[in-house]
Amino acid sequence: MLFNSFEFLWLFPLLLATYWLVNRPVVRAKVPQLPNLLLIGISYGLYIKWNPAFSLLLLGVTAVTYCTGLALERVSQSKKSVLAACGIVLALLPLTVFKYADFILAQANELGALFGMEFGLPGLNWALPLGISFFTFQAVGYVADVFLGRIKAERNWWDYMLFVCFFPQIAAGPIGRANSLLPQIKSPRLFNPSQCSQGMRWLLWGMFLKVVMADRIGLVVDPILAQYQSQSSALCAMAAVLYSLQIYGDFAGYSFMALGVGQLMGFELTNNFKRPYLSQSITEFWHRWHISLSTWLRDYVYIPLGGSRCSKARSYLNIAVTFLVSGIWHGANWTFIIWGILHGLFQIAEKAVGLGKKQSRGIIKVLRVATTFVIVTLLWVIFRMPTLSDAYGFIGHLFSGFATSTITITPSMKILLLLSIVIVVFKDLIDEYLSQDKTLLHNRYRLVRFGTYIGLTVLILLCGVFDASQFIYARF
């Protein structure tokens, strides 16, 4: 069930009403597990509706990590590492096969050809299970936490099952953490009107980002990037900037909607985005973009490697390895790997010159924000293009001065694009620099708040793209 689909619009209120009905104290007193069982039923039901076979995979990853967690508390210290490693490898196996097998086989074929050997290994060409990278990392994070003694192993199978499959976050995160989500699953949720209204705000803003900005931009950007050779350099540059906004609107839109759905059900999920394009450095960008993945990589890759509490050279290597993993996590393609490596290298450079965590003011700050945005935008090109040669070709084309285009953007499309972008930029600037009671969605004046809700809803109805398109990050 996509948050931007008509199905969500009618089905979710029904599910929500049922959920709060079974969550009443009188029902909970008789069957305490019922609300969680209902959520498991909904989550698996939606997953099975998408692909019944792949739900077995979700169940398998859940079972493997659950058993590993339990076993880790029963084996001796000396065997824990081996057991944790086995559990993690087993949990990662489906992800490796479905996401990376084709890439690995293709590289093996190419490597063989280099040495004059014809392996001819056939690709699997299997569809990627929805959200596999997200739920796998969530489950692997749990095993690592139990292994490191950060949390106790979960004994209740149903609670753990819900932890892995919780439907608002299964398609594209945020990647939940056991120490934050499991206690919420285990404790009774109480209906909290202010939490619900906050959830509605997240839903509304997320919907605006997705259907008004991201999907509208997608209509323009996709054909330009597909035939960039025939478009002018200026149009390509505009497409690159627009893609930066598209992926922000798409992914942040999904994350905010997941946050909103979670809050409507009494859960507090991780906020994945904090106005990333107002970052002054790439380092800061990763503290504001896909926060749940950044913190996951920090806690389970960067810090175990030694983090920054080691020699400079080693610390730089740790950053490089962490962002290599980030690139690989995003997809089995050299474009993602190079994208990840470059993000790592920029952060190493920032660390070397002391810019990573340094905050500037005034014009310097504006220049740094603009520079960071340009770098991130160029790196998104590598991320977006199907192959590295396309990415190089596109970036080369940006600076070629090519003047003619086969694609023209209609004036009405320009108006709709500009309207959505101006609103998003305006809101993000207000959220960044003004206190919360002066922001649009939390303004102390009811008129401003209500006016914003109404204005956003009217714009969604008038300008939204309602083709229920998939979210970009759901592909990962």
Partner 1 sequence: MLVVITLLLIDQLVGRTLIWINEGTMKGDYGRNTYIATQACQDILIFGSSRAIHHYDPTLIGETLGMTCYNCGEDGMGIILMYARLQLILQRHTPKVIIYDIEPSYDLLEDDNTRYLGFLRPFYDNDTIKRICVDVSPSERFKNLSMLYRFNSRWVDIIAQRISRDPSQARDYTWAPLHGRLNAEPSLNAESPILNYDPLKLKYLQRLIECCANNDIALYFVTSPNFGNTDDKVYSPLKELAAANNIPVLNHSIDTTFTRHPELFNDRDHLNQCGATLLTKMVIQEINNQD
Using CB under 8 A, list all residues that contact partner 1. Answer: 6, 10, 410-412, 415-416, 450, 453-454, 457-458, 461-467
- Using CA atoms, how far residue 100 sits from 184, 226, 366, in Å, is 34, 24, 40
3-state percent breakdown (helix, strand, coil) of the chain, nearest 5: 75, 0, 25
Give the number of other CB atoms < 10 A from CB of residue 190. Answer: 9
| CA 402/CA 224 separation, integer angstroms | 14
| Residue among 140 and 207 whose Cβ is closer to partner 1 | 207
Q: Hey, what's the torsion of the CAs at 387, 390, 392, 394, to 10 degrees?
A: -140
Note the Cα 180 to chain centre separation in Å: 18
| Residue among 5 and 51 whose Cβ is closer to partner 1 | 5
Q: How far is the CB of 411 from partner 1 (least distance, A)?
A: 7
Q: How far is the CB of 449 from partner 1 (least distance, A)?
A: 9
Query: Whats the size of the chain, residue-wise?
Result: 476
| Catalytic residue list contains 330 | yes
Residue 469 sits at the vertex; the CA angle it makes with 471 and 417, to the nearest 5 degrees, is: 90
Q: How far is the CB of 457 from partner 1 (least distance, A)?
A: 6
Residues in contact with 73: Cβ distance below 8 Å, sequence separation at least 6, in sequence order: 146, 152, 153
Q: How far is the CB of 193 from partner 1 (least distance, A)?
A: 13
| Residue among 199 and 344 whose Cβ is closer to partner 1 | 199
Which of 330, 343, 397, 442 is an active site residue? 330
| Residue among 432 and 467 whose Cβ is closer to partner 1 | 467
**Structural contact between residues 36 and 22, judged by C-beta atoms closer than 8 angstroms:** no
| CA 141/CA 180 separation, integer angstroms | 12
Residues in contact with 435: Cβ distance below 8 Å, sequence separation at least 6, in sequence order: none
User: For residues 361-385, b (16+ Cβ closer than 10 Å) or e, as one string?
Assistant: eeeeeeebbeebbebbbbbbbbbbb
| Residue among 208 and 285 whose Cβ is closer to partner 1 | 208
Q: How far is the CB of 221 from partner 1 (least distance, A)?
A: 17
Q: How far is the CB of 436 from partner 1 (least distance, A)?
A: 20
| Residue among 433 and 445 whose Cβ is closer to partner 1 | 445
Catalytic residue annotation: 330
